[in-house]
């Protein structure tokens, strides 16, 4: 209409921040016709996001695994529509480049296209900081074979550890919240930054992959520090393995030489766990603590004083009953009860409004209840000796199951990090022909 | 089991913060039996949340209307199950007390109950700050009459301005996201604080009201200041009336003497507006700007230079066409095109994952698409001359409708603020007998 062809370089995220924060002159310097001179809004040599807000994308491992947890998460899976391996590689290269750019607080693609073309970045994160955005990619079983078909000549490279999850006792999985050929988890300290990342990656997948499901979540660290609480009101993560313990991480988190192209990667299992929060909130405090096996206020194991006191699984009370009940969640999920198995949890709470549910307890009320709970995310070197072993026990014995229902599920091989100039999963495709 | 009856005073929100932040001795002072002495964790004289994080609940007006927007919002509506007005009053008193406490960073109810009783606060916000929590209550038409029945003897007091919204052109409302007898909007700078507030209020409603629907949302202000962007990537709110202009607020926002018991209250209209984001993101940048009527990068009206430049609705280009198209959203929603009507928008973006949708444009693709958009929230003195007038025009003419669909809706009378010792909506019930 009234405007000449222009560029939308003015949407550069870093540039806008710089302009607003430090260059008051910039706004006044825009031409009267509404044209923004690209160099006034982009200052490539001066990232506007403090370094503390940037989590590097390239590296030995993917970011978003041992990265200190951000406050917001969006997990999404995609199904591949294409019939060619070349398309899959194209998509992974696009995603790699965009993820690296966005993690630095930049637009998904370099701008500069004319106004009569779709924007190369939708702009919904313009002016926002990098916010410690991480984007973690995963490969589901469907990348290797789907319905028995080896679509991309990758079937022989499916890792042994990328098993199909067994059906666990109590599972009520729905297809609309489960599985997928590819997974993306975008985490950031700003929900709009995380959602922007998902949308840009979604746009880049057009014609190659279709989005299957999405799960958002949040976690709120106490301002004064310490362990965060989950929606059950208990501290959650006290016994999580320390990501600062490199030896431990090499042992239980990162894939080693056994993994071939997956070396330095990890496997993620996600579970959408609905919690009957109304029921939980009406449960006696003492019983809640028996369910968890911990004191609610402090987080100490029952019978102990401090949050970080180790669980004493042998302790008995004066009547000879275990102090931490046999059915307590913290007992059953402990390494000691699972042949030493450990997983790195990186879960988020979710709040998806309400749904129509039937209670499992008297008087079996039916009606609108919260559709909220825990989006469980756990990384490990091998799910067979990690999540699967632990959850088999929990699914059968954990008294917390009275309140929790697993309604969504997925398992994904998260390849190692990409080196600059390469792309996520490059090693998987090395040496393939045809 | 192994523990004596105890109190859960240790969950006091302010106390935990104080303990963790300034009293390292407190943790060590807990008794070996896991009992927390109440006075070690509660320091009523020293709120842990800085004053800047507390939005006072009591006042002439309800908080959460002219309050600078928090980053997170949860809107929920409830249907009343009770047959008695006394129960409604009981609920409003409970909600008032709890809302006041939580807005100060305290637990929903004073603690101190025995462990063999349900907790008086679920603890999911223990250790978190007040985070500028506001809780804004509204009364829907159903409080006054439902299905033609005057359940609570309030029908004669239904405000004239609390009309049923008309059906607008293009509405595709679903009952599961619309209406309700009572509304609550909990806004905070922390999603877990907002969700905690909703849950505690939900628990307090047991037996009196049932939750009907919930909508969460977020908004991310640029760290460097300025107008936030919506999911369309445009600055949103540039022309919102200034809440610092008391005369203007008295004119267009707050109910005056005409309102009786609603004086100093306001009416809120909410609309869950799904946006076809995939389609929008593939739309040419220039056309996006014609849809909005503004430059995308800077936010200036088309043909102007600065974001805050007024819209020139009469400007024509060299061919005699309007510079701001006749169908542009900013033109059609402007006060100048609506007999001076203004509303105070306080909207949040939402991201509810994906759903199965059919596109409205060639090639009419069907499949999984984002279920995301804008949860529109607008306050005004009278919806008949506010939202209804403006939206009638928008629903018919706004070219943005190509991308947007109104799928949820509600209208609520938000009574004036409560004085300390009183309760929300008290004036509505004054002088009623029987």
- Write the pLDDT tens digit of every residue in A8-49: 445 656 444 333 333 322 333 333 333 333 322 332 334 456
Which residue in B has a C-alpha nearest to residue A220's C-alpha?
A: B192
Distance from CA of B257 to the nearest CA of A (A): 37
Instruction: Break chain A into its structural domains and give their ranges.
Output: 1-41+164-178+262-416
- How crowded is the C-beta side of A28, counted as CA atoms within 13 Å? 3
A 166-225: CB under 8 A from B? 190-193, 195, 199, 202-203, 206, 210-216, 218-220, 222-225
Q: What integer pLDDT is reported at residue A20 of this predicted model?
A: 34
- Smallest Cβ–Cβ distance between A2 and the set B222, B226, B317 belongs to B317
Higher pLDDT, B61 or A113: B61
Q: How far is B411 from chain A (nearest CA, A)?
A: 19
Contact criterion met (CB < 8 Å) for B11 and A234 = no
pTM, full prediction: 0.91
Assess whether pLDDT exceeds 80 at residue A146: yes
Listing DSSP states for A242-277 in one string gives: PTT-HHHHHHHTS--GGGGGGTT-EEEEEEEEEE-H
User: Residue A75 phi/psi, 5° resolution?
Assistant: -110, 135
Least confident of A195-199, A253-257, B171-175, B221-225: B221-225
Task: Judge whether residue A4 has pLDDT over 80.
Answer: no
pLDDT at A29: 30
Separation CA B225–CA B219 (nearest Å): 13
Predicted confidence at residue A51, as pLDDT, reads 72
Angstrom distance (rounded) from CA A241 to CA A342: 7
Nearest C-alpha in B relative to A114: B285
Q: Which of B326, B66, B218 is nearest to A128 (CA)?
A: B218
For residues B267-276, average pLDDT: 98
**Which of A17, A76, A59 lies closest to A42 in space, CA to CA?**
A17
- Which tokens is B22 given? 């300034």
Alpha carbon separation from A434 to A208, A260, A373 (Å, rounded): 19, 21, 46
Q: What percent of chain B has pLDDT over 90?
A: 84
Distance, CA of B232 to CA of B229 (rounded, Å): 8
Closest residue in B to A227 (Cα–Cα): B127
Average pLDDT score, chain A: 90
| ipTM of the complex model | 0.91
Q: What is the mean pLDDT of residues A78-105?
A: 98
Which residue do the tokens 């992959």 mark?
A209
pLDDT for B52:
75
The upper half-sphere exposure of residue A247, i.e. CA atoms within 13 Å in the direction of its Cβ, equals: 0
- What pLDDT sits at residue B13? 64
**Of the listed ranges A207-216, B112-121, B133-142, the one predicted with least confidence:** B112-121
Beta bridge partners of B116: none
- Higher pLDDT pick, B257 / B26: B257
In angstroms, what separates the C-alpha of B352 from chain A's closest C-alpha? Answer: 7
Q: Is residue A330 within 8 Å of residue A390, measured between CB atoms?
A: no
Least CB-CB distance to A351: which of B206, B210, B216? B216
Nearest Cα residue to A189 out of A276, A84, A67, A322: A67
User: Any idea which residue has 């000879």 for tokens?
Assistant: A320
Q: Tell me the mean pLDDT in the region B395-408.
A: 97
Best residue of B229, B238, B363, B374 to probe chain A, by most A CBs closer than 10 Å: B229
Q: What is the pLDDT of residues A231-244, one digit of tens each?
A: 999 999 999 999 99
Tell me: pLDDT of B28 over 50.
no
Q: Which of A190, A229, A369 sits opposite B126 (nearest CB)?
A: A229
Q: Please tell me the predicted confidence (pLDDT) of residue B112.
A: 84
Answer yes or no: do B1 and A306 touch at CB < 8 A.
Answer: no
**Considering only residues 397 to 426 of chain B, which have any Cβ-Cβ distance to chain A shorter than 8 Å?**
none
CA dist B70 → A49, A352, B13 (Å): 22, 20, 20
Structure tokens at B248: 């203007």
pLDDT of residue A22: 32
Q: What is the pLDDT of residues A362-381, one digit of tens each?
A: 888 899 999 999 999 999 99
Q: CA-CA distance, A281 to A22, in Å (whole number)?
A: 49
pLDDT at residue B134 greater than cutoff 60: yes
Decide which of A83 and B363 is more confident: A83
**For the stretch B160-192, what's the b/e string if a residue is b when 16 or more beta carbons lie within 10 angstroms of its beta carbon?**
ebbeebeebeebebeeebbbbbbbbbbbbbbbb
B112, B192, B403: best to mutate for the A interface, most A CBs within 10 A: B192
Read off the pLDDT of each residue in A396-413 and give the average, rounded to a whole number. Answer: 97
DSSP states along B270-325: EEEEEE-HHHHHTSBHHHHHHHHTB-TTT-PBTT-SSTTSPP-TT-B-TTS-BSS-
Within an 8 Å CB–CB cutoff, is residue B59 touching chain A? no
Q: Which contacts (CB < 8 Å, 24+ apart) does range A166-169 have?
A: A166/A388, A166/A392, A168/A391, A168/A392, A168/A395, A168/A406, A169/A395, A169/A396
The pLDDT assigned to A213 comes to: 98
Q: What percent of chain B has pLDDT over 70?
A: 88
Cis peptide before A410 (omega within 30 of 0): no
Q: Is A7 on the interface with B (CB under 8 A)?
A: no
* Whether the predicted pLDDT of B89 surpasses 90: yes
Do the beta carbons of residue B57 and residue B26 sit within 8 Å? no
pLDDT at B184 over 90: yes
**Average pLDDT, stretch B91-100?**
98
- The more confidently predicted of residues A132 and A32 is A132
User: According to the model, what pLDDT value does residue A48 have?
Assistant: 56
Burial (CB count within 10 angstroms: exposed 0-12, middle 13-18, buried 19+), residue B356: exposed
Q: For residue A431, with 0-12 CB atoms within 10 Å meaning exposed, 13-18 middle and 19 or more buried, which class applies?
A: exposed
Which of A:87-116 have CB within 8 Å of B? 113, 115-116
The CA distance from A266 to A283, in Å, is 38
Q: How far apart are CA A184 and CA B401, in angstroms?
A: 31
Share of chain A above pLDDT 70, in %: 88
CB contact under 8 A, A127 and B305: no
Spacing of C-alpha B72 from chain mean position:
9
Pick the closest to residue A325 from A309, A307, A301, A300 (CA basis): A301
The three-class DSSP label of residue A408 is strand
Confidence of residue A360 (pLDDT cuts 50, 70, 90): confident
Pick among B23, B285, B323 to test the A interface (most A CBs inside 10 A): B285
A238 inside 8 A of chain B by CB: no
Q: What integer pLDDT is reported at residue A10 of this predicted model?
A: 53
Give the integer Cα–Cα distance in Å for A187 and A184.
10
- Answer yes or no: do B298 and A10 touch at CB < 8 A: yes
pLDDT tens figures, A117-127: 999 999 999 99
| Nearest Cα residue to A104 out of A420, A315, A346 | A420
What whole-number distance in Å separates Cα of residue A374 and Cα of residue B341?
A: 44
Whether omega for the bond prior to residue A363 falls within 30 degrees of 0, making it cis, is: yes
Residue B320, chain A, CB below 8 Å: the answer is: no
């Amino acid at each position: 209409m009234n405007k000449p062809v222009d560029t939308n370089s003015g949407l550069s995220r870093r540039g806008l921040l710089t302009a607003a924060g430090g260059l008051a002159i910039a706004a006044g310097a825009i031409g009267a016709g509404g044209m923004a001179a690209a160099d006034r809004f982009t200052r490539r040599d001066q990232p506007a996001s403090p370094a503390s807000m940037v989590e590097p994308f390239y590296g030995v491992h993917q970011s978003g695994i041992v990265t200190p947890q951000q406050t917001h998460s969006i997990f999404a899976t995609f199904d591949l529509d294409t019939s060619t391996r070349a398309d899959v590689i194209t998509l992974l290269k696009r995603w790699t480049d965009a993820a690296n750019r966005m993690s630095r607080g930049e637009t998904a693609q370099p701008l500069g296209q004319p106004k009569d073309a779709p924007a190369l970045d939708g702009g919904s994160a313009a002016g926002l900081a990098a916010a410690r955005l991480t984007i973690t990619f995963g490969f589901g079983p469907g990348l290797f074979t789907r319905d028995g078909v080896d679509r991309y000549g990758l079937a022989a490279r499916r890792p042994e550890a990328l098993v199909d999850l067994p059906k666990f006792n109590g599972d009520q999985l729905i297809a609309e919240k489960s599985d997928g050929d590819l997974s993306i988890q975008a985490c950031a300290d700003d929900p709009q930054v995380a959602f922007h990342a998902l949308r840009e990656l979604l746009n880049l997948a057009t014609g190659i992959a279709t989005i299957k499901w999405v799960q958002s979540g949040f976690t709120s660290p106490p301002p004064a520090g310490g362990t965060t609480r989950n929606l059950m009101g208990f501290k959650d993560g006290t016994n999580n393995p320390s990501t600062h313990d490199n030896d431990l991480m090499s042992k239980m988190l990162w894939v080693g030489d056994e993994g071939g192209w997956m070396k330095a990667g990890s496997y993620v299992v996600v579970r959408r766990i609905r919690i009957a929060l109304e029921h939980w909130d009406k449960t006696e405090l003492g019983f809640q603590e028996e369910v968890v096996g911990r004191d609610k206020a402090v987080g100490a194991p029952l019978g102990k004083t401090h949050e970080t006191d180790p669980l004493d699984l042998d302790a008995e009370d004066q009547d000879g009953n275990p102090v931490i009940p046999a059915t307590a969640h913290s007992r059953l999920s402990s390494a000691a009860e699972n042949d030493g198995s450990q997983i790195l949890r990186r879960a988020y709470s979710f709040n998806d409004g309400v749904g129509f549910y039937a209670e499992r307890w008297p008087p079996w009320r039916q009606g609108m209840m919260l559709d909220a709970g825990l989006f469980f995310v756990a990384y490990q070197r091998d799910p067979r000796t990690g999540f699967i072993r632990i959850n088999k026990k929990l699914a059968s014995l954990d008294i917390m199951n009275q309140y929790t229902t697993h309604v969504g599920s997925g398992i994904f091989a998260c390849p190692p990090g990409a080196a600059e100039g390469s792309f996520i999963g490059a090693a998987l495709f090395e040496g393939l022909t045809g």
